[in-house]
Structure 1
């Protein structure tokens, strides 16, 4: 009897229903907001969004904001031409976490992407540029190896200055004692 009633399948996990820019999309440079729409997300959780640019470095992404329990919006630094990879991790209403990724292309001459209506009017935190540097293996604009070498050199200079200062101080005390005993 139940076979004849039909029904809809039960989904234990939320799935990506829509994205701006979406998987495989081709959009104009300059987009500064990404949006992901899912089934209902778990209240109180914050999805994670990472974006890798065409050159393999991290693109700064602001803290995602959830609208309408299903739409995740995040500010990003304006997108440059090339293939970008967006990675996300969300927690569905039933508490299960899932991660996935997709690519889209930013190309001159492509159609500009509009900010999705669910994201308009939201106060989206600005992308943190320092986070991209940490993720891309750079520190203060230097490669990780060069930055560590500079830090090690600075530490050696400081230690050398402290040792020199202590020796000079001890030398001054010793000289003062000799003059007093003569």
Structure 2
């Protein structure tokens, strides 16, 4: 009766991370990973990174590996202290939010991509820059190309409509005259 029990933890606390909380890492980190206890299936964790100057560092959509490891591709980070924030849903359905900091520093030890994240097809972070030739049409962004094509189509359709209307008006005015009016007089 006097033996105390140990508390039961239903939540999946952060077990490990790459980069780890408080770590000093070399530039070139392109994947972050967070390892928890079992996570709820069919949920997408959220990860965000804030660089040393307070601006957001682009992060790709996170992918869960082995029901407990969250992996995400990240854009290159500048030297200084960065803050990684995350939101995950544990297997029991409770949402957990937290954050930690690590430092990107020249001369620090390079970080390798964790084995659970290797071989995964991680969505690239949206840096706002087009890196693929398939994102352009004749060197112009898809949006600009579509807008130009729509404008050209409107001009062609409008011009065709006016041309047909003018021809019909000319035919109608010519058809109403009598044969003597259409022949030149001498």
Give the TM-score of the pair, scaled to structure 1.
0.68
Closer, same or farther in 2 for the Cα pair 1:70/1:8, shift >3 Å? farther
Aligned with 1:171 (options 153, 166, 169): 166
1:90-129 Cα deviation digits (max 9, x unpaired): 111111122333332222212111223433xx43223334
**Residues 90, 99 of structure 1: 8 Å contact kept:** yes
* Alpha-carbon shift at residue 58 of structure 1 (Å): 4.1
Whole-angstrom CA distance in 2 between matches of 1:132 and 1:52? 14
Give the TM-score of the pair, scaled to structure 2.
0.66
Q: Structure 1 stretch 20-29 or stretch 45-54: which is displaced more?
A: 45-54
Aligned with 1:13 (options 3, 11, 24): 11
1:11-57 Cα deviation digits (max 9, x unpaired): 23222222111233221111122110112212343323333445624
Whole-angstrom CA distance in 1 between matches of 2:93 and 2:176? 82
Q: Compare the two structures and name the one with the higher helix fraction.
A: 1
Q: How many residues align?
A: 162
Whole-angstrom CA distance in 2 between matches of 1:180 and 1:85? 81
What residue in structure 1 maps to residue 41 of structure 2?
Answer: 43
Q: Structure 1 stretch 25-34 or stretch 164-173: which is displaced more?
A: 164-173
Whole-angstrom CA distance in 2 between matches of 1:52 and 1:178? 73
Tell me if 1:23 matches 2:18: no
Tell me if 1:93 matches 2:91: yes
Closer, same or farther in 2 for the Cα pair 1:125/1:50, shift >3 Å? farther
Note the residue ranges of structure 2 that are not aligned, 5 or more in a row: 130-134, 136-140, 178-186
Whole-angstrom CA distance in 1 between matches of 2:176 and 2:15? 90
Find the residue that maps to 2:128 and give its secondary structure: helix
What residue in structure 1 maps to residue 64 of structure 2?
Answer: 65
* Alpha-carbon shift at residue 158 of structure 1 (Å): 5.1
1:53-93 Cα deviation digits (max 9, x unpaired): 456244242541322x3222233344443443323221111
**Residues 65, 124 of structure 1: 8 Å contact kept:** no
Computed over aligned residues only, the root mean square deviation of the Cα atoms, in angstroms, reads: 3.4
